C-alpha cells in the first residue's frame, strides 16, 4: 500500500505538469497566443539548446556567485544559530533584526549594494548571502531547540559539558531542520545571484536575461528562465544527496 501511495505521489504532480505544458503548447500552436508574446515550450527547448554554447560563461558566473554566497551563508548561519542557542540575550537581540531583514525587498537592497561595492562579483554574493542566511539560521535554531528536555537533563546528569551536548545530541537532532532550511536556501541562491546581476555586471544569467529582454527576444528570456530552473533543481537534488549520505539513520527509519 505504501509503495502504491509513493508512486501516486510522484505520478500525480508529474501528470499535472505534463498537462500544463501540453496545454501551453496547444494554445501557441493554434494561434490563441502569438509566438512573439508567448513562445511554445518546444520553441523554448530549441532556443535553449541553440544558445547554450554562448551562455556557458554566464552560467559559470551565476554558479560561482551562488555557491560562494551559499557557502558563506551556511558558515554565518551555523555560527549565529549556535550563539543564539547558547545565549538567550543574543537571541532576544538578534531575532527581531532577522525578521526585519526579511521585510526589506531584495530589489531595493541589490542596487544599494551595487552603488556601495561596485558592479563586480561582491554585491551579487552579498545578495545571495542575504536571501540564504534567514532560512538556514531559523531552521537550524528550531532544530537545536527541539531536543527532548529529558534527554538533555540526562546528559547533564552524566556531567556532559556544553560541547559534548552540542556535538553528541543537539546538532545530530537538528540536522533534519538544518537540511530543510538548506534546501530552501539552495534554490534561493540561484535567484539571488540573478537578481544581483540585474543591477549590472559583465556576465551572468541575470545580465544575459536583461540584454535579451531589451532586444524583445522573449524566446531567449524563457530559455534563460528554463536554465535557471534546471540549475536550481540540480542544486536542490545535490543537497538532498548530501542529506541522504550524512543522515544514515533517516534511511533506516524510512525503511
As for how many domains the chain has, the answer is: 2
- pLDDT tens for each residue of the chain, 255 residues long: 555 555 556 677 778 788 888 888 888 888 887 777 888 888 888 888 888 888 899 999 999 999 999 999 999 999 988 888 888 888 888 888 888 877 777 777 777 887 888 778 888 898 899 889 989 998 988 888 877 777 777 777 777 777 777 777 788 888 888 999 999 999 889 998 998 888 777 888 888 888 888 888 888 888 999 999 999 999 999 998 998 888 776 665 555
Quick one: 174 and 115 in the same domain?
A: yes
Quick one: 156 and 238 in the same domain?
A: yes
Quick one: 139 and 167 in the same domain?
A: yes
What is d(CA 126, CA 122) in angstroms, rounded to the nearest whole number? 6
Quick one: 186 and 222 in the same domain?
A: yes
**Is residue 126 within 8 Å of 116, Cβ to Cβ?**
no
Quick one: 164 and 231 in the same domain?
A: yes
Q: How many residues does the chain have?
A: 255
Quick one: 219 and 138 in the same domain?
A: yes
DSSP code for 105 = -
At how many degrees (to 10) do helices 218-246 and 41-86 cross?
40
Residues 28-54: pLDDT tens digits?
Answer: 888 887 777 888 888 888 888 888 888
What is d(CA 100, CA 177) in angstroms, rounded to the nearest whole number? 22
pTM of the model: 0.83
- Domain harbouring 188, CATH code: 1.10.3720.10
Q: What residues have CB less than 8 Å from 86, skipping those under 6 apart?
A: 162
Range of the domain at 161: 42-254
Q: Which residue has the cell 548561519?
A: 77
Quick one: 1 and 125 in the same domain?
A: no
Quick one: 3 and 68 in the same domain?
A: no
Quick one: 88 and 118 in the same domain?
A: yes
Residues 182-201: pLDDT tens digits?
Answer: 999 998 899 989 988 887 77
What is d(CA 25, CA 153) in angstroms, rounded to the nearest whole number? 61
Quick one: 91 and 216 in the same domain?
A: yes
Alpha helices in the chain (DSSP H): 2-29, 41-86, 88-103, 106-117, 122-144, 149-157, 162-165, 171-198, 205-214, 218-246, 248-254
Quick one: 51 and 1 in the same domain?
A: no
Quick one: 66 and 123 in the same domain?
A: yes
Q: How far, in Å, are 45, 135, 196, 216, 242 from residue 73 at the CA level? A: 33, 10, 16, 36, 17
Give Dmax over CA atoms of the chain in angstroms. 75
Please count the other Cβ atoms lying within 10 Å of the Cβ belonging to residue 166: 18
Amino acid at each position: 500500500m505504501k509503495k502504491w501511495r509513493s508512486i501516486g505521489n510522484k505520478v500525480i504532480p508529474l501528470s499535472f505538469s505534463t498537462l500544463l505544458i501540453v496545454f501551453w503548447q496547444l494554445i501557441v500552436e493554434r494561434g490563441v497566443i502569438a509566438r512573439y508574446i508567448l513562445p511554445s515550450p518546444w520553441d523554448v527547448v530549441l532556443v535553449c539548446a541553440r544558445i547554450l554554447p554562448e551562455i556557458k560563461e554566464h552560467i559559470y558566473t551565476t554558479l560561482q556567485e551562488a555557491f560562494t554566497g551559499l557557502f558563506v551563508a551556511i558558515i554565518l548561519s551555523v555560527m549565529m544559530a549556535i550563539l543564539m542557542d547558547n545565549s538567550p540575550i543574543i537571541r532576544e537581540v538578534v531575532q527581531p533584526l532577522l525578521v526585519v531583514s526579511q521585510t526589506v525587498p531584495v530589489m531595493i537592497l541589490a542596487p544599494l549594494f551595487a552603488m556601495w561595492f561596485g558592479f563586480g562579483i561582491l554585491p551579487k554574493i552579498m545578495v545571495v548571502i542575504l536571501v540564504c542566511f534567514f532560512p538556514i539560521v531559523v531552521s537550524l535554531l528550531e532544530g537545536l531547540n527541539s531536543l527532548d528536555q529529558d534527554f538533555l537533563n540526562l546528559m547533564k546528569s552524566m556531567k556532559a559539558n556544553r560541547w559534548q551536548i552540542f556535538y553528541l545530541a543537539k546538532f545530530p537532532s537538528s540536522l533534519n531542520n538544518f537540511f530543510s532550511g538548506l534546501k530552501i536556501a539552495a534554490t534561493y541562491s540561484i535567484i539571488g545571484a540573478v537578481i544581483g546581476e540585474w543591477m549590472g555586471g559583465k556576465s551572468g544569467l541575470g545580465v544575459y536575461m536583461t540584454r535579451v529582454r531589451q532586444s524583445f527576444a522573449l524566446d531567449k528570456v524563457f530559455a534563460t528562465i528554463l536554465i535557471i530552473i534546471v540549475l536550481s533543481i540540480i542544486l536542490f537534488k545535490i543537497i538532498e544527496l548530501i542529506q541522504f549520505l550524512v543522515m544514515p539513520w533517516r534511511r533506516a527509519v524510512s525503511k
